[in-house]
Amino acid sequence: MMFDFGASTSAIPARIRGGLIRVVALALVAAPLAACSSVDKLNPFGGEKYETKLLPDVPAEEIYDQGLARLAKRDGEGAAKKFAELEKQYPYSQWARKGLLMQVYSEYEGGKFDDAAATGVRYVGLYPSSQEAAYATYLVGMSYYRQIPEVSRDQDASEKALQAFTALVQKYPKSEYVEDAKYKIQVTRDQLAGKEMSVGRYYLARKNYTAAINRFREVLAKYQTTRHSEEALYRLTEAYMGLGVAHEAQTATAVLGHNYPDGQWYQDGYKLLAGGGLKPEENKASWISKAFSKVLG
């Protein structure tokens, strides 16, 4: 089963472009005077060498529009720097908030995923009740989601993407991004389960049955609703047969048969038990039975 980890995010919410409030700041700059008189050259305590002048006002809206223009040219890095100026020049203003959100989006579009995630987390921390907090959280999740590697590698990005999407669903249940977040939660959970299965098979092939069982148990404990549960039950049958713990092997296959009666994994498990003179039989006291009963309940 293949997953598209490169899915693009939703368009920028229209409301973050509207309702702009004009804020003006004054900047001081030093400008050299005309050449000093001969008296000034001899007198170290003479007239001032520099004086301050006021530059023409630069509206925040103009800086914001410059950032949008860079985005239009697909210059995500340049756009992010421009939007960051709003927070520096207009701190604690609505422009600072709008600029910070657009900085997240620009970093994401520019492929600076770690930067986007960090900036997104900062935005939610500063403005948790804003209308765009859900969107910022979504971009945090997407920033990690886009970095998910193939299943045999470290899955830290999957863990962080899962955390962000879960937070979005829980904190902003009415958000327009919830539906997509729920889908990506399933994808990341499946990826994490796949990692556990990969490690479990590694131990199983080397007859390290206890280590293998721990991995397959993790799949049933945390990721029961993923596609890996069926194989995990069969692998438990293999591992427990290898250890000579017949009743747990029988339980694993019985639970497998109850939930996936037409699957190939059940047929393989049944044959494996039969080869040892056993048949599927569920022990209700087994952790396997309890784990699956809890999920079904």
Q: What residues make up the domain containing 227?
A: 208-296
Q: How far apart are CA 141 and CA 214, in angstroms?
A: 29
Entry pTM: 0.78
Residue 290 counted as domain residue: yes
Q: Which residue among 192, 220, 238 closes a domain?
A: 192
Residue 14 counted as domain residue: no
Which tokens is 104 given?
């997240």
Please check whether residues 236 and 264 belong to one and the same domain: yes
Task: Look up the CATH number of the domain holding residue 87.
Answer: 1.25.40.10
Residue 230 counted as domain residue: yes
Backbone angles phi, psi at 245, to 5 degrees: -95, 85
pLDDT at residue 259, as a whole number: 93
Residue 197 counted as domain residue: no
Checking if the pLDDT of 174 tops 50, the result is yes
Which tokens is 195 given?
């990692």
Please check whether residues 175 and 260 belong to one and the same domain: no
pLDDT digits (tens, 9 = 90+) for 22-64: 322 322 233 333 334 443 443 444 455 545 554 446 799 999 9
pLDDT at residue 32, as a whole number: 37
Please check whether residues 152 and 109 belong to one and the same domain: yes
Neighbouring residues of 141: CB distance < 8 A, sequence distance ≥ 6: 161, 164, 165, 168, 181, 184
Residue 270 counted as domain residue: yes
Which tokens is 44 given?
């170290």
Distance in Å from the first CA to the final CA of the chain: 28
Please check whether residues 152 and 106 belong to one and the same domain: yes
pLDDT digits (tens, 9 = 90+) for 73-103: 999 999 999 999 999 999 999 999 999 999 9
What is the number of structural domains in the chain? 2
